[in-house]
Chain A
Amino acid sequence: MLAVLDPYFQFATKAMAREATYRFEVFTSIGSLAVRVYLMRVVWVALYAHNAAPHGIPLHTIITYSAVALLMGLILDIDQTSLLHDKLHDGSIVVDFMKPISVPLYLFADGTGEVLFHAALIIPSLALALLIVHIDVPSLPVLGAFALSFFLAYFVGFFLNLIQNCIAFWTLEISAVQLIMTWVTDLLGGQIVPLLFFPAAVQNAIFALPFAAMFSTPLMIYTGQISPAGYTQAMALQVFWIVALGLIATVIWRAGARRVVVQGG
């Protein structure tokens, strides 16, 4: 069993090593995060100075929410990897199909390797963010639930990313799709503002979409907007989305791979 998975562990390890070779990227991503945390604080402070706290969410909670959301963004980036798109674009996908590997599992391993490297960046980024803002820390059980929900969110993000990349099987080009998806997940996923801030009717529509399962669910657990009684339901919905998106991704992948196989890349 382990021997079967060994190549995929290697893919993940090599992806981490690869990310580490771009030192400039590492420093800029930490730096840009600090800038965004600072700007986010400026915006919220200004907004709260002239308005009543919406939905009774105090300023320190909203700042915590946004800071944690930005840190999560290091890992949960819908645009994190475009490996599949790149390979389809330059035709090198053919080389992967000539190897005795499962290509989707390879993409998952590679993407996860990248993410694990970025996860390591959270520590210095967090340290830097704490110089700028105060972040509330919830109790240990809540942190545990948050971690679990975050873990589930990763799979939601992975499948959304894979589906988005699969479009390149047909179009070869996905930059417009990527742009839209990034905006949609940031906004409808609850990374920019809590979804509670949207009008009720819009909220219903948003919660019927998978994006909320990425940022909103773990963040609402973290900030206590979802109480421990609601954990099961919230995470069950995340699992539902993982299964649903997984199935959609499988169907699209198969159709796309057949297209490569029929057209020869």
Chain B
Amino acid sequence: MNESSLGVVSLPRNPDLFRREGTGSKRTADAPGGFAAPGNRSLMPIIQTRALRKTFRSVVRGEGLAGAVGALFSRRYEEKVAVENVNISIEEGEVVGYIGPNGAGKSTTIKMLTGILVPTSGTIEVAGIVPHEKRRQNARNIGVVFGQRSQLYWDLPLRESFELLRAIYRVPRDRYRANLAHFVEILDLDRFMATPVRQLSLGERMRGDFAAALLHDPKIVYLDEPTIGLDVVAKEAIRAFIADINKRLGTTVILTTHDLADVERLCRRIVLIDAGTVIYDGKLERLRDEYGTHRTLIVHLKDPQPDFALPGVEIEHSEPPTVMLKFDRRTTTAEALIRRVTERYAITDVAIVEPEIEDIVRRIYLEGYQKPPARAVET
């Protein structure tokens, strides 16, 4: 496979838009997604961050009551790095999964992109605007959905929240009516448009929040764990909605989530962040290819074989008469392995387990991302 073609991942609506700014140190060191940018740089990406860094100062507190009381009088501070050297470049119309464990710096990045947090250093540009310098202007270009926080007005019927947002964003009436009618239809809001938001179920509220975030046709939407706590049906409705607005309107979507099914369903590109640093930026498929090199072969033996062994094959788990064998698909094929097993043992059934993206990401969280040695660093 051609390595350099893997470097750039985006969903440009027009192939001519396939441009990306080069970046600094990340490229070869720890972001194999990199930003290989062949050709001219005629168009700016819609979101661009360079060497983005954010630190917080927090009070160091001793233990227990004495420590808490002590902190009232003498304060020691420590600097915590939330985001470090983040270089992200996103084209218009992309759907990017921004994932990482709790406290990795996802929300901090999103807040900087929305303009409510000022970076400690580095630069950000969103649709040509520096968000924290022109917060209100930037706000018109973006829509935000927080899974854990609603922007709807708690005491008001859903419909009135929408009316208020129409005024806030100065959406022209006909545009408002058309958008609302569309959202009501695809999100099935009709049944609870007159219900006060505080009486809505979580699923209903989330659907309301999605409509609220998109009423003003934002160019970019930031979705911060939008499916958290939803049931399967509601999750799917939300995912279909995101896919639809991206496809129909070309809305750029940045999605942070812990539910990797969201990512698999929606994103071709993912940015993995851990401890404030981007550790992977590229195609989801490629992460699976590179990192998910191990497969598991599950073999049901005809008779229990407590001392089952194959030279050079790792047994992942054994529960007679079933054994699970781990193999590297780059050095062994499933067929060869099955043949070796059947040479020695009688079997009734086999199954091959592909690595779940979930497992891959969990492994990266635990072990850190290492570029698989079998692959050369792109040059």
Known: A97-B116, A98-B139, A100-B140. A17 touches B156 (CB 8 A): yes
Q: Let me know if B116 and A260 touch, CB within 8 A.
A: yes
Q: Let me know if B136 and A100 touch, CB within 8 A.
A: yes
Per a CB cutoff under 8 Å, which of A17, A21, A94, A101 touches B116? A94
Q: Let me know if B117 and A261 touch, CB within 8 A.
A: yes
With an 8 A cutoff between CB atoms, is B42 at the interface?
no
With an 8 A cutoff between CB atoms, is B12 at the interface?
no
Q: Let me know if B117 and A262 touch, CB within 8 A.
A: yes
Q: Let me know if B149 and A95 touch, CB within 8 A.
A: yes
Residues of A within 8 A of B169 (CB): 100
Per a CB cutoff under 8 Å, which of B118, B140, B150, B167 touches A10? B167
With an 8 A cutoff between CB atoms, is A99 at the interface?
yes
Q: Let me know if A14 and B168 touch, CB within 8 A.
A: no
* B129-169 Cβ-contact flags toward A at 8 Å (1 or 0): 00010011101101010100111010110001001100111
Known: A262-B118, A264-B117. A7 touches B155 (CB 8 A): no
Chain A, interface size: which category? 20 to 34
CB distance from B80 to the nearest CB of A (A): 11
Known: A17-B160, A98-B116. A264 touches B111 (CB 8 A): yes
Number of interface residues of B (CB under 8 A): 32
Q: Let me know if B168 and A100 touch, CB within 8 A.
A: yes
B152 closest partner in A (C-beta): A95
Residues of B within 8 A of A92 (CB): 149
* A193-230 Cβ-contact flags toward B at 8 Å (1 or 0): 00000000000000000000000000000000000000
B56 closest partner in A (C-beta): A263
Q: Let me know if B153 and A14 touch, CB within 8 A.
A: yes
Q: Let me know if B164 and A10 touch, CB within 8 A.
A: yes
Q: Which of A17, A98, A100, A263 has the most CB of B within 10 A?
A: A98
CB distance from B343 to the nearest CB of A (A): 61
With an 8 A cutoff between CB atoms, is B114 at the interface?
yes
B163 closest partner in A (C-beta): A10
Q: Let me know if B108 and A264 touch, CB within 8 A.
A: yes
Known: A18-B155, A18-B156. A261 touches B168 (CB 8 A): no
Residues of A within 8 A of B117 (CB): 261-262, 264
With an 8 A cutoff between CB atoms, is B203 at the interface?
no
Per a CB cutoff under 8 Å, which of A21, A97, A264, A265 touches B135? A97
With an 8 A cutoff between CB atoms, is A138 at the interface?
no
Q: Let me know if B163 and A99 touch, CB within 8 A.
A: no
With an 8 A cutoff between CB atoms, is A3 at the interface?
yes
CB distance from A255 to the nearest CB of B (A): 14
* Residues 6-31 of A at the B interface (beta carbon under 8 Å): 6-7, 9-11, 14, 17-18, 21
Known: A7-B168, A260-B116. A99 touches B139 (CB 8 A): yes
Residues of B within 8 A of A9 (CB): 167
Docked complex Cα distance between A92 and B196 (Å): 18
Per a CB cutoff under 8 Å, which of A3, A97, A102 touches B170? A3
Q: Let me know if B164 and A7 touch, CB within 8 A.
A: yes
Docked complex Cα distance between A6 and B144 (Å): 22
Q: Let me know if B170 and A264 touch, CB within 8 A.
A: no
Docked complex Cα distance between A12 and B70 (Å): 45
Per a CB cutoff under 8 Å, which of B108, B114, B160, B164 touches A98? B114
Known: A99-B139, A260-B116, A264-B116. A7 touches B167 (CB 8 A): yes
With an 8 A cutoff between CB atoms, is A91 at the interface?
yes
Q: Let me know if A14 and B156 touch, CB within 8 A.
A: yes
Per a CB cutoff under 8 Å, which of A7, A14, A100 touches B137? A100
Docked complex Cα distance between A92 and B209 (Å): 14
Q: Let me know if A21 and B196 touch, CB within 8 A.
A: yes
Per a CB cutoff under 8 Å, which of B149, B151, B155 touches A21? B155
Docked complex Cα distance between A9 and B155 (Å): 17
CB distance from A49 to the nearest CB of B (A): 48
Residues of A within 8 A of B118 (CB): 261-262
Per a CB cutoff under 8 Å, which of B56, B149, B156, B170 touches A94? B149
CB distance from A218 to the nearest CB of B (A): 31
Residues of B within 8 A of A261 (CB): 116-118, 132
Residues of B within 8 A of A11 (CB): 164
Measuring CB to CB, which residues of chain B are less than 8 angstroms from any residue of chain A?
A: 56, 107-108, 111, 114-118, 132, 135-137, 139-140, 142, 144, 146, 149-151, 153, 155-156, 160, 163-164, 167-170, 196
Measuring CB to CB, which residues of chain A are less than 8 angstroms from any residue of chain B?
A: 3, 6-7, 9-11, 14, 17-18, 21, 91-92, 94-95, 97-102, 260-265
Q: Please give 11 more A-B residue pairs, beta carbons under 8 A apart, in addition to A14-B164, A92-B149.
A: A10-B164, A17-B156, A17-B160, A94-B116, A98-B114, A99-B168, A100-B136, A100-B140, A102-B136, A260-B116, A261-B117
20 pairs of residues in contact across A and B, judged by CB atoms under 8 Å: A6-B170, A7-B164, A7-B167, A7-B170, A11-B164, A14-B164, A18-B155, A21-B155, A21-B196, A92-B149, A95-B144, A95-B149, A95-B150, A98-B115, A98-B142, A99-B139, A100-B139, A100-B169, A261-B132, A262-B118
